[in-house]
Chain A
Amino acid sequence: MAECHPVGFQWVTEAKKRGAKIIHIDPRFTRTSALADQHVSIRAGSDIALLGGIINYIIENEKYFEEYVLEYTNASTIIQSDFKDTEDIDGLFSGYNPELGAYDNESWGYRGIEEAAAAGARELSVNDQEHQISMHGGQGAAHKIGSQGKSLSDISIHSDRTLRDPMCVFQILRRHYSRYTPEMVERTTGIPQGAFLEICRAVTENSGKDRTTSWVYSVGWTHHSVGVQYIRGAAIIQLLLGNIGRPGGGILALRGHASIQGSTDIPTLYDILPGYLPMPSASMTAGLKGYLESLMAAKQKGFWANLDSYMVSFLKSYWGDAANPENDYCFSYLPKINGDHGTYRTVMDMMDGKVEGYMIFGENPAVGSANARMQRLALSKLKWLVVRDFNLIESATFWKDSPEIATTELETSDIATEVFFFPAASQAEKDGSFTQTQRMLQWHHKAVDPPGDCRSELHFFYQLGLKIKELLKDSKNPRDYPIRDLTWDYPTTKNGEPVAEAVLKEINGSHLAGEKKGKLLASYTEMKPDGSTSGGCWIYTGVFADGINHAAKRKPGQDQSWVAPDWGWVWPANRRILYNRASADPDGKPWSERKAYIWWDEAQAKWTGHDVPDFEPSKAPWYRPPDDAVGPDALAGNDPFIMQADGKGWLFAPAGIKDGPLPTHYEPQESPVTNALYAQQKNPARQVFKRSDNLSNPSAPAEGYEVYPYVFTTYRLTEHHTAGGMSRFLPYLSELQPEFFCEVSPELAAERNLRPGGWATIVTARTAIEARVLVTRRIKPLRIDGKIIHQIGLPYHWGVGNQALVAGDSANDLFGLTLDPNVHIQESKVSSCDIQPGRRPTGPELLNLVASYRRRAGITQDTGNELATNYEADK
């Protein structure tokens, strides 16, 4: 965190000053470790073994927050009797389909709702590619699955409040992690038992009524073939310890850019619409009604019951007057998806000649994406490419200076890609908002005009839209109607720059009819399904309430309450902590004075406290819904998790996760270590691509793995930003970290004759790259299952090109593409490799070196891509 988020880290130093204990878990000793009370070195890719170990410690030592677990989680819920755990089938859950390499989650459901769950399961069935796609995408998936409450609406959930029923969630959880002992944690992660128990003690001693613990993570947890399950692991710990919905608790995702949260809220993802509304799929033929029915039960519980209001308001903001009840509010105008259209799928399609044009905005995939070599080769197959950036990044100049020109795989004269470069305005040169990880929108004001031809994204898209609309204005082709009818009339200032606040107002939404016609909405609860309101992103409604840009609020901390509601604006409804009903006990009283946050005020008969309650304001703690209740009314007064159909935090996920209801330790796609916990080596539901341009190293115990005996991980340095587009062109940053280097332990340096300050060549099945050698005790060998495993650290900021002040090989060239099945994120925080002293060969010799390694390891397109290990035998 100190490395990549130094400004945010000030709050960690602040907390430390006040007595907080800081533990840093990372393969390397970093600048964060330097300030932490304890650094724990872990083998990259083994975190679920650690998290599972902590879960096991909490349960076996009865350290869980009993009342919270019983009342606020699904611990007591009984799961269907045909559910089988990984303990029963050696690393697989019930429902695995070896042909599809995917799960049917029918057996994971709550008991008592079999019939309804089966209907839900058809929705979730992974053999239907379209539905598979519609089911994932960031937060949307979980929320939406929560909304799959049709199964929970009619029949009451079976539960055992003694938590003793062998099929209740708590007992399944206990059994699932019973072998994640301190010994197993040490064998798998390399963390000595003593250090592991120190973590367990620190986390449990700092949780409970009076104290809370938070977990902070970044892409070190998400860039894995089991990335979603890492986060689930932390979620289980936090639910067991009562650290969700309470001040000082939570699981905090640190983002790689200022507005990554914003780019999922108002998504750059293909499978969701703003506000996590699922993107319609091509198989949905029944229009808006069918779409809504597929997502909402007639007797829907929880707040997703108002999905129709959010969706219709969204359509009204897109198509304005053209959207009316007669034409389904132009629902048919929305694009439909019919498969995986993620970034890596698109690049593979590019390789295969299926994509003509591509636009790159503020990204540098030629350096920053996994299998960056494939990215560059794919760009060379386009007809046209638009790059908008501050500088001529490698993704814009690949056609003349990429490494493939040097290896003669590409010839400039053969590349037909026409590249259009548009210089971009920086954040100081335009108005706009950032949405950070706390869901906080913060407005930034333009300080200076952008220089020369540099323009904002708003300008680019708005002007491009105007031009396209002009071209299509007389079109009689129905496929052009969505653009013809699009509302596209923002006020502009100098040079045709749209007024950014006008866009924020459109996102906020307005009343279109009635008394308040023309007024901005104050809250998403004002949205209607009848076309009388608009709103571009329902969760952002209220940011412009009363005509005030609340995102621009900057009242200093000392001038307001400690929750600081007047600093920026947090969705939804300026609520700083989600599910904060959980900060009070079932009777609505604070768990403790020290951690008081939201409570039930008996005299006023409403919820009150330091934050905006995440609960219906006047629903008493003892409210119990009548049997026929639907929507929010169906949630009881002690159901804090209001977006879940059962109102509970899910220790066990009966739906919504493709690779299992409970996190399970699997080895990475490429690992020199055999899975010590299960015969199943890797995530059986991961997404693999058997292609000649995407070969994998063999993993233990398969033959040939020892050709790539080391583990490597990649990361950022404080001095640079991601793929370098914003830093390698600046002298003051480039001089601070001018060259690509690898970090190795003295022991590995001795083993491979790596000279400090010299060069090393690092090889995988994809390619070989070279780096300067930094020998440091901050990287240390680990003892894994009795064997010494060396790890290599590679910062990934450099790329090959002639435009930046500093250049170097890209660490991302080393990775292949294997994805998490839930969100299609690549496994780029761990792989295996070899390292040798000296510089790599140049020209075609480089290809020969890589090929000789592949031959020695016996690599084919099938290598490493078997999904279920010995599936038949285990059956």
Chain B
Amino acid sequence: MSKTIVHLGLDPAKISGWDVAQPRMGFFTDTSLCIGCKACEVACKEWNEIPEDGLDWLGISYDNTGSLGASSWRHVAFIEQAVPGGRTDTPSSASALDGSDLRWLMSSDVCKHCTEAGCLDVCPTGSLFRTEFGTVVVQDDICNGCGYCVAACPFGVIERRTGSHGTKNVGLAQKCTLCYDRLVSGMTPACAQACPTESIQFGNLSELRSRARRRVEKLQLDGNRAARLYGDDPNDGIGGAGAMFLLLDQPEVYGLPPNPVVATRELGQMWKQAGIAALTFLIGAAAASIER
């Protein structure tokens, strides 16, 4: 399956049977421009009518959202760290009292809308589907809350919503829809619309990808050697993401898996191995019975 997709030039909508001339749409989140204002989180919740999920102070820098989840479809991470390798232009009289070696990374995380989407692959009801934009969306009225998708996501994005009785969509699997309802009306997703610094960019995925590559090259030329793209490679474990990121450090620093692999990719191989194992077992059992 994955091979087919790569061959088709990353157009999961087409192989899902959509017969429309609609380019694949996605996000490019340039974390080097993020100011951590969380407008994306708020705009997302406003548009998608997501319930407030806890007035808890976490004490983790300025992050009181914690992680992506059923009621947080955008999550801004705040990472306070020493600049890797220190600053080269530190003034001579700077001492430990000078904070010039400090940096504060901010990054707005979101569902990756994978080319090979584990959640979609395992959904038994057909609630999760591939849209004409190439995005992956849950249909609330079909989801039965089985939760298979939750285990299948290599990023831990999709979750079943918890909450008291009466909470909207409680018990159902919930995640970013890339504002499918806005896209069909030709609108920009709420988060990208609200982002004041163009850290979240929305558009034609192939165009975004080339923009992202130009941007990372520029940052590297400017001396930001650790700058890298994440989720842009169609040959990675998810066939490339529909939401890619420009990071300034290793993915783990942002809480992202370094080499995400869709669990279902190895399904054929797993069945094969399971078959071999079963066969081996049967042969063994047969041999044992013969020996007996």
Question: Are A and B co-members of a single complex?
Answer: yes
Q: Which residues of A contact B (CB under 8 A)?
A: 2, 6-7, 9-10, 13, 29, 31-35, 38-39, 41, 186, 190, 192-195, 197-198, 717-719, 731-739, 741, 756-757, 772-774, 776-778, 780-783, 805-806
Question: In the bound complex, how far is the Cα of B184 from the Cα of A782, in angstroms?
Answer: 55
The reply to whether A198 and B55 form a contact with Cβ atoms under 8 Å apart is: no
Question: In the bound complex, how far is the Cα of B35 from the Cα of A197, in angstroms?
Answer: 27
The reply to whether A6 and B104 form a contact with Cβ atoms under 8 Å apart is: no
The reply to whether A34 and B36 form a contact with Cβ atoms under 8 Å apart is: yes
The reply to whether B91 and A13 form a contact with Cβ atoms under 8 Å apart is: no
**How many whole Å from A860's CB to the nearest CB in chain B?**
36
**With A33-B104, A39-B100, A780-B99 known to touch, is A194 a contact of B92 (CB < 8 Å)?**
yes
The reply to whether A736 and B102 form a contact with Cβ atoms under 8 Å apart is: no
The reply to whether A10 and B45 form a contact with Cβ atoms under 8 Å apart is: no
User: Contacting B35 at CB < 8 Å: which of A2, A741, A782?
Assistant: A2
Name the residue of chain B whose CB is nearest to the CB of A28.
B99
Name the residue of chain B whose CB is nearest to the CB of A186.
B93
User: Contacting A194 at CB < 8 Å: which of B45, B59, B91, B99?
Assistant: B91
Q: Which residues of A contact B57 (CB under 8 A)?
A: 737-739, 741, 772
User: Contacting B52 at CB < 8 Å: which of A718, A735, A777, A780?
Assistant: A735
User: Contacting A6 at CB < 8 Å: which of B52, B94, B105, B196?
Assistant: B196
Q: Which residues of B contact A190 (CB under 8 A)?
A: 97
User: Contacting A717 at CB < 8 Å: which of B45, B62, B106?
Assistant: B62
Question: In the bound complex, how far is the Cα of B91 from the Cα of A419, in angstroms?
Answer: 58
Name the residue of chain B whose CB is nearest to the CB of A731.
B52
Judge if B207 is at the interface, Cβ distance under 8 Å.
no
The reply to whether B102 and A777 form a contact with Cβ atoms under 8 Å apart is: yes
Within B39-70, the residues touching A (CB, 8 Å) are 39, 41-42, 45-46, 51-57, 59, 61-62, 64-65
The reply to whether B52 and A734 form a contact with Cβ atoms under 8 Å apart is: yes
The reply to whether B104 and A31 form a contact with Cβ atoms under 8 Å apart is: yes
**How many whole Å from A741's CB to the nearest CB in chain B?**
7
**With A736-B41, A739-B57 known to touch, is A31 a contact of B46 (CB < 8 Å)?**
no
Which of A6, A38, A186: most chain B Cβ within 10 A? A6
The reply to whether B42 and A736 form a contact with Cβ atoms under 8 Å apart is: yes
Judge if B103 is at the interface, Cβ distance under 8 Å.
yes
Question: In the bound complex, how far is the Cα of B196 from the Cα of A32, in angstroms?
Answer: 14
User: Contacting A733 at CB < 8 Å: which of B42, B98, B197?
Assistant: B42
The reply to whether A6 and B35 form a contact with Cβ atoms under 8 Å apart is: yes
Judge if B277 is at the interface, Cβ distance under 8 Å.
no
**With A732-B45, A736-B41 known to touch, is A192 a contact of B95 (CB < 8 Å)?**
yes
The reply to whether B38 and A736 form a contact with Cβ atoms under 8 Å apart is: yes
Question: In the bound complex, how far is the Cα of B90 from the Cα of A773, in angstroms?
Answer: 30
Contact residue range for chain B? 35 or more
Q: Mark B201-217, 1 if CB is under 8 A from A, else 0.
A: 00000000000000000
Q: Which residues of B contact A735 (CB under 8 A)?
A: 52-55, 64-65
The reply to whether A732 and B104 form a contact with Cβ atoms under 8 Å apart is: no
Which of A41, A197, A719: most chain B Cβ within 10 A? A719
The reply to whether A10 and B42 form a contact with Cβ atoms under 8 Å apart is: no
The reply to whether A781 and B97 form a contact with Cβ atoms under 8 Å apart is: yes
The reply to whether B104 and A9 form a contact with Cβ atoms under 8 Å apart is: no
Question: In the bound complex, how far is the Cα of B196 from the Cα of A31, in angstroms?
Answer: 14
Q: Which residues of A contact B94 (CB under 8 A)?
A: 192, 194-195
The reply to whether A783 and B45 form a contact with Cβ atoms under 8 Å apart is: no
Can you list 24 pairs linking A and B with CB atoms under 8 Å apart? A2-B36, A6-B39, A10-B196, A10-B198, A29-B102, A34-B104, A34-B106, A38-B100, A39-B100, A41-B99, A192-B97, A194-B92, A197-B91, A198-B91, A731-B51, A731-B52, A731-B55, A732-B41, A736-B42, A736-B65, A739-B57, A777-B80, A778-B104, A806-B55
Judge if B6 is at the interface, Cβ distance under 8 Å.
no
Question: In the bound complex, how far is the Cα of B162 from the Cα of A93, in angstroms?
Answer: 68
Q: Which residues of A contact B187 (CB under 8 A)?
A: none
Question: In the bound complex, how far is the Cα of B91 from the Cα of A10, in angstroms?
Answer: 29
Q: Which residues of A contact B97 (CB under 8 A)?
A: 190, 192, 780-783
Q: Mark B141-166, 1 if CB is under 8 A from A, else 0.
A: 00000000000000000000000000
The reply to whether B37 and A31 form a contact with Cβ atoms under 8 Å apart is: yes
Judge if B179 is at the interface, Cβ distance under 8 Å.
no
The reply to whether B36 and A718 form a contact with Cβ atoms under 8 Å apart is: yes
Q: Which residues of A contact B106 (CB under 8 A)?
A: 31, 34
Question: In the bound complex, how far is the Cα of B35 from the Cα of A719, in angstroms?
Answer: 12
Q: Which residues of B contact A198 (CB under 8 A)?
A: 91
Name the residue of chain A whose CB is nearest to the CB of B105.
A34
Q: Which residues of B contact A194 (CB under 8 A)?
A: 90-94
The reply to whether A10 and B54 form a contact with Cβ atoms under 8 Å apart is: no
Q: Which residues of B contact A35 (CB under 8 A)?
A: 33, 35
**With A34-B36, A718-B36 known to touch, is A772 a contact of B102 (CB < 8 Å)?**
no
The reply to whether A192 and B99 form a contact with Cβ atoms under 8 Å apart is: no
Known: A13-B198, A38-B100, A776-B80. 13 other contacts (CB 8 A): A34-B106, A35-B35, A39-B100, A41-B98, A192-B94, A194-B92, A732-B42, A735-B55, A737-B64, A738-B55, A739-B57, A780-B97, A782-B97
Question: In the bound complex, how far is the Cα of B99 from the Cα of A772, in angstroms?
Answer: 23
Q: Which residues of A contact B104 (CB under 8 A)?
A: 29, 31, 33-34, 778
The reply to whether B52 and A732 form a contact with Cβ atoms under 8 Å apart is: yes
Q: Which residues of B contact A719 (CB under 8 A)?
A: 38
The reply to whether A13 and B52 form a contact with Cβ atoms under 8 Å apart is: no
Question: In the bound complex, how far is the Cα of B82 from the Cα of A488, in angstroms?
Answer: 63
Name the residue of chain A whose CB is nearest to the CB of B46.
A732
Question: In the bound complex, how far is the Cα of B195 from the Cα of A13, in angstroms?
Answer: 12
Q: Which residues of B contact A29 (CB under 8 A)?
A: 99, 102, 104
Question: In the bound complex, how far is the Cα of B101 from the Cα of A780, in angstroms?
Answer: 12
Question: In the bound complex, how far is the Cα of B226 from the Cα of A9, in angstroms?
Answer: 25
Name the residue of chain A whose CB is nearest to the CB of B104.
A34
Q: Which residues of A contact B39 (CB under 8 A)?
A: 6
**How many whole Å from A787's CB to the nearest CB in chain B?**
12
Question: In the bound complex, how far is the Cα of B94 from the Cα of A777, in angstroms?
Answer: 16
Name the residue of chain A whose CB is nearest to the CB of B54.
A735
**With A2-B37, A35-B35 known to touch, is A772 a contact of B91 (CB < 8 Å)?**
no
Name the residue of chain A whose CB is nearest to the CB of B35.
A2
**How many whole Å from B30's CB to the nearest CB in chain A?**
10
10 closest A-B pairs by CB: A194-B91, A731-B52, A739-B57, A6-B37, A34-B104, A2-B35, A757-B59, A738-B55, A192-B93, A194-B93
Question: In the bound complex, how far is the Cα of B57 from the Cα of A645, in angstroms?
Answer: 56
The reply to whether B36 and A192 form a contact with Cβ atoms under 8 Å apart is: no
The reply to whether A9 and B80 form a contact with Cβ atoms under 8 Å apart is: no
Q: Which residues of B contact A731 (CB under 8 A)?
A: 51-52, 55
Q: Which residues of B contact A2 (CB under 8 A)?
A: 35-37
**How many whole Å from B135's CB to the nearest CB in chain A?**
24
Which of A34, A193, A805: most chain B Cβ within 10 A? A34
Question: In the bound complex, how far is the Cα of B101 from the Cα of A778, in angstroms?
Answer: 10
The reply to whether A718 and B38 form a contact with Cβ atoms under 8 Å apart is: yes
Question: In the bound complex, how far is the Cα of B182 from the Cα of A635, in angstroms?
Answer: 59
Question: In the bound complex, how far is the Cα of B93 from the Cα of A186, in angstroms?
Answer: 10
Q: Which residues of B contact A33 (CB under 8 A)?
A: 104
**How many whole Å from A304's CB to the nearest CB in chain B?**
40
The reply to whether A9 and B52 form a contact with Cβ atoms under 8 Å apart is: no
Q: Which residues of B contact A778 (CB under 8 A)?
A: 80, 99, 102, 104
Question: In the bound complex, how far is the Cα of B38 from the Cα of A736, in angstroms?
Answer: 8
The reply to whether A193 and B93 form a contact with Cβ atoms under 8 Å apart is: yes
**How many whole Å from A431's CB to the nearest CB in chain B?**
23
Name the residue of chain B whose CB is nearest to the CB of A193.
B93
**How many whole Å from B222's CB to the nearest CB in chain A?**
11
The reply to whether B95 and A13 form a contact with Cβ atoms under 8 Å apart is: no
Q: Which residues of A contact B45 (CB under 8 A)?
A: 732
The reply to whether A736 and B64 form a contact with Cβ atoms under 8 Å apart is: yes
**How many whole Å from B92's CB to the nearest CB in chain A?**
5
Q: Which residues of A contact B52 (CB under 8 A)?
A: 731-732, 734-735
Q: Mark B239-263, 1 if CB is under 8 A from A, else 0.
A: 0000000000000000000000000
The reply to whether A7 and B196 form a contact with Cβ atoms under 8 Å apart is: yes
Q: Mark B97-127, 1 if CB is under 8 A from A, else 0.
A: 1111011111000000000000000000000
**How many whole Å from B31's CB to the nearest CB in chain A?**
11
**How many whole Å from B156's CB to the nearest CB in chain A?**
20
